[in-house]
Amino acid sequence: MSAEIEFLQRILLSMAAGALIGIEREYTKHQQTVGARSFALVSLLGCLSVILSQPVLFALPIELPFLPYIGLVAVIGYAFLIYYFLAKKEFFGITTTLALPLAYTFGMFIGYGFFVVAIIGAVVTTLLLYSRRYSHLFVQQLTEVEVADALQFAIVLFIAYPLLSDSPLLFFGLALPLKKFVEIIIILSLISFLGFLVVRFIGQRAIPLTGFFAGFVSALAVTASLSERSRQARVDQWVLCAGIAAANIASLLGDVLVLLYISVPLLSTLYPTYAVMVLALLLASLPFFKHQPNKAFTIKLDQPFSVISGLKFALVIFVIMVVTQYISAMGSSALYVASFFAGIVSITSVVVSLSLQASLGSLSLSEAARGIFLAIAGGWLMKAGTVAVGASPELRKRIFPVLVLALGAGIAALLLTVH
């Protein structure tokens, strides 16, 4: 490629990156002073400052190594001058003021030849600016306690986690991969957080969808909550059944995500079992999902990114991990019994524990697969017991056979595929 063509490419790309941000600023009508043309020219200025500062494309008679940084300071000063004059008109938005130096910086990246980095930066910046209304809506939906918990979770994620060592933690002769363990807790919390957002925003409009995302947090909690509601007068039992089925489908999919992260070979072993259970549950629940509700309900969940909640969940997983590692030395039968009863407390904890042991080689794939399925059986029997004790006869009659069918299909798949 000739120097002239590459020069034209960088100019056009830098202008496009700046214009993308500027179009968003004009579209949202937050201000009329700085728009697509201004942002495009600022980004072009950043690109040209780099080209003029050193012989990137052309042999220059003089090198100006500090020109890009002088230009950046000038753009920052220009941006704050705009903010000053707008503030005198009682317009106090500072987003555009911050976006201008970013556009210049992306132009600099393009000038240096980092095209992909600049494009990604421009797109992400535009999306962030465009999400203003949604981000404000999200913040308004949160309570003060939830905001505090979110900040604590961010401290754990971005400050405490990077300080952890990659070396396994020795605990009474057991080698525990502490960093990977914390990573799993973070992933589970983020999945729960996604479910929490959907539950918070959709509210009363779609209980099957609400039940699905709430199932990532706790399918047992959803089952217990909807079973209790089924005893109220004039409730739509079909909608409640759809919510319970959706929560249990989400619970299975959540375990699949955990296995995908920890041990792909173990997931390959258990994939047919999970696929058959999800398919059976989905097909058996189709009448529930097709039913048009005549009344909406809500499901109240605590914030899932609470550090205290995360520590409690981590403690449960840690205890089950240690117990199952010790019991696995007593033989497969003892491990299976322990997995079954641990699954009554938390299926995900057993999935994490046994998949970590399988990835470390302390358990065979078949033993880990059987232990995980027994944990699923224990958890599902707990849900069935919750329905039997807490649900109305009508709900029990409809959802109980669905849970039994899915569990039976999983047993058949496990016997056929795991040897």
| Mean pLDDT in order along the chain per 10 residues (419 residues) | 79 90 73 75 91 73 78 86 69 72 91 88 84 58 62 68 71 66 70 64 64 78 83 79 90 90 90 93 89 58 56 70 74 86 84 85 87 92 88 89 91 87
Q: What gap in Å lies between CA 4 and CA 9, rounded to an integer?
A: 9
* CA nearest to 121, candidates 103, 101, 96: 103
Measured CA distances, 363 to 94, 182, 323, 326, 373 (Å): 56, 21, 14, 12, 15
* CA nearest to 16, candidates 123, 96, 117, 99: 123
Percent of the chain at pLDDT exceeding 90: 16
* CA nearest to 263, candidates 174, 372, 380: 372
Q: What is the pLDDT of residue 13?
A: 92
Strand partners, 169: 176
The answer as to whether 347 is a domain residue is yes
The answer as to whether 20 is a domain residue is yes
The answer as to whether 138 is a domain residue is no
Task: Provide the residue type at 90 as one letter.
Answer: E
Work out the burial of residue 42: count CB atoms within 10 Å of its CB; fewer than 13 is exposed, 13-18 middle, 19 or more buried. buried
Q: What gap in Å lies between CA 158 and CA 135, rounded to an integer?
A: 21
363 and 338 housed in the same domain: yes
Indicate the SS3 state at residue 41. helix
The answer as to whether 400 is a domain residue is yes
78 and 171 housed in the same domain: no
Instruction: Find the domain containing 341 and state its range.
Output: 143-417
* CA nearest to 14, candidates 91, 104, 89: 104
The last residue of a domain, from among 99, 130, 161: 130
9 and 156 housed in the same domain: no
Whole-model pTM: value is: 0.64
193 and 239 housed in the same domain: yes
C-alpha triplet 281, 317, 400: angle, nearest 5°: 25
173 and 242 housed in the same domain: yes
46 and 191 housed in the same domain: no
Q: What is the pLDDT of residue 204?
A: 47
Indicate the SS3 state at residue 323. helix
67 and 173 housed in the same domain: no
Longest dimension (CA), the chain: 89
253 and 174 housed in the same domain: yes
**DSSP-derived secondary structure letter, 232:** S
Strand partners, 171: 174
Q: What gap in Å lies between CA 263 and CA 258, rounded to an integer?
A: 8
30 and 79 housed in the same domain: yes
The last residue of a domain, from among 105, 130, 155: 130
The answer as to whether 136 is a domain residue is no
110 and 223 housed in the same domain: no
